[in-house]
Amino acid sequence: MKAFGTFYGVGVGPGDPELLTLKAINVLKGAQVIAVPRSSDSSSDGLSQALRIAEKAVDLKGKEMMELLFPMTKDRESLKSARKEAAAKVAGALKAGKSVAFITLGDPMLYSTFSYLVPLVREVAPEAPVKVVPGITSYGAAVSAAVVPLAESDEKVIIIPAAYDIDEVKGLLKSFDTVVLMKVNRIFDSLLDALVSMGLDGSAILVSRVGWPEEKIVTDIKSLRGGKLDYFSTVIVKKGI
Amino acid sequence: MKAFGTFYGVGVGPGDPELLTLKAINVLKGAQVIAVPRSSDSSSDGLSQALRIAEKAVDLKGKEMMELLFPMTKDRESLKSARKEAAAKVAGALKAGKSVAFITLGDPMLYSTFSYLVPLVREVAPEAPVKVVPGITSYGAAVSAAVVPLAESDEKVIIIPAAYDIDEVKGLLKSFDTVVLMKVNRIFDSLLDALVSMGLDGSAILVSRVGWPEEKIVTDIKSLRGGKLDYFSTVIVKKGI
């Protein structure tokens, strides 16, 4: 009987191909199948970006590419069936003894489709080992690019993904030293109002597309009011900067 | 006039030399001076670990090594004077046109001495460029090793460093989906009591020395009561695991 392949989650970082780790590169080189998450929503194009980054760091020619389609929807049933279908494809390759590297923007354990797939793949192919290669996160790269420490000494950090309401954010801004707000593009103007009303707009920076040619680091965030922001925009509020 | 050298903060990740990024390796290869933070407290040996990791990934022979001593103390005055002295040493090399790579465990922008040095170096050598290479954090590597997603969907993450009180932690555990508690070794038993009383001990894992030969991933954290924990121990509480 053939041994099962290993299912790898590989973080490729936020954009700069030099931010892949040696381990990520070695796993991508060794894997037989590269699993590429794709969003059906062509306007955001978010999930195939991982492939653009990986291809710049590693020669993927000759690899078997496995496209996995995940619809951009809140509909639980279609999400569930898309994930099940993806898991079945991955499990099929693992059962055939092939190692599968699922590439993911940033880190596979933070807001990534990979983490939804793991239990589903384990259901179908429980014998296949699962290994994760951590990646540089977008907020980690953002604070590095801006040379703003995320936290020092006994400061606490809170990371908030895209979905939230402004009143809750205001409460969190009061309680935490550092607040990372990911994917702020849709609520930026109301976030800006909240920051100005709390006297915190001077303590905030906006970073978008860190590591890409179109990278933007903005310290005067008031200048962005009313403009169109990139989907990959993060605001970091750090008291005292 | 000679151009100023660049002051680099380079994250070498939590332990596994394969978790250095390509950028970290390239910067270390190119730098003329490697600045190595050292703690005067030889029992923890915490801060020279960065060198042990970097040396495994890059040949540092022939580089000028610059030891920077930071006392393990809460005394503000001696901390301040140690940091000033370190900054003066770094600035001296930068003014001589040498690039200085300050290596740091994990990430230079998260609980690192590097972030304290930056403003002090800028005071003395404002013309020297400062660049930061982000690193894989210990908690990022920990959740990867344990294959436990840090956050999914709209979940929030809280990162708490070593210094905190248990009542505050209890409040945060009530309110948030994922709580990362770093350097728990000194307060582990009271943290365990709190988790048990909240019915959350089954949702917690302890990871220490991730990526080192002595790496430990413990899911039955009750088994650790009363034992001696490593200085680099992180507890991750994730509701629903």
- What interface predicted TM-score (ipTM) does this complex get? 0.94
Give Cα separations from B114 to A144, A207, B70, B102, B120 (angstroms): 12, 21, 11, 7, 10
Q: Could you tell me whether strands B33-39 and B130-133 are parallel, antiparallel, or unpaired per DSSP bridges?
A: unpaired
Nearest by CB to residue B21, choosing from A9, A136, A156, is A136
Per-chain mean pLDDT for chain B: 92
pLDDT at residue A48 in the model:
81
Which residues in chain B (195-234) have CB-CB distances under 8 A to chain A?
none
Q: What percentage of chain A carries pLDDT values higher than 90?
A: 82
Spell out the domains of chain A, with CATH numbers in brackets: 7-133 (3.40.1010.10), 138-238 (3.30.950.10)
B115's tokens: 């972030």
Contact assessment for residue A21 and residue A73, using Cβ atoms and an 8 Å cutoff: no
Summarize the confidence of residues A62-69 as an average pLDDT. 94
Mutate one of B27, B53, B150, B153 to test the A interface: name it (highest A CB count within 10 A): B150
Q: Read off the pLDDT of residues B89-118 as tens digits, 9 standing for 90 and up.
A: 999 999 999 999 999 999 999 999 999 999
Return the closest-CA partner of residue B105 out of B53, B43, B40, B181.
Answer: B53
Q: Name chain B contacts of A234, Cβ cutoff 8 Å.
A: none
pTM of the model: 0.95
Distance CA A96, CA B190 (A): 48
Which pLDDT score is estimated for A43?
A: 47
Residues in chain B with CB shorter than 8 Å from the CB of A137 are: 140
Contact B23 A21 (CB under 8 A): no
Q: Do B19 and A22 touch (CB under 8 A)?
A: yes
Give pLDDT, residue B8.
Answer: 98
Give residue-wise pLDDT tens across range A89-108.
999 999 999 999 999 999 99
pLDDT of residue B203: 96
Residue B224 C-alpha, separation from nearest chain A C-alpha, in angstroms = 25
Reported confidence tier of residue B43, pLDDT bands at 50, 70, 90: very low
Residue B44 has pLDDT above 60, yes or no: no
Beta-sheet pairing, A204-208 with A130-133: unpaired
pLDDT of residue B37: 92
- How many residues can be counted in chain A? 241
Q: Is the pLDDT of residue B1 over 80?
A: no
pLDDT of residue B149: 96
- The residues with which A33 forms a beta bridge, in sequence order, are A64, A100
B:104-123 residues touching chain A, CB 8 A cutoff: 107-112, 115-116, 118
B90 neighbors B114 (Cβ within 8 angstroms): no
- pLDDT value for A163: 60
Q: What are phi and psi of A228, to 5 degrees?
A: -95, 125
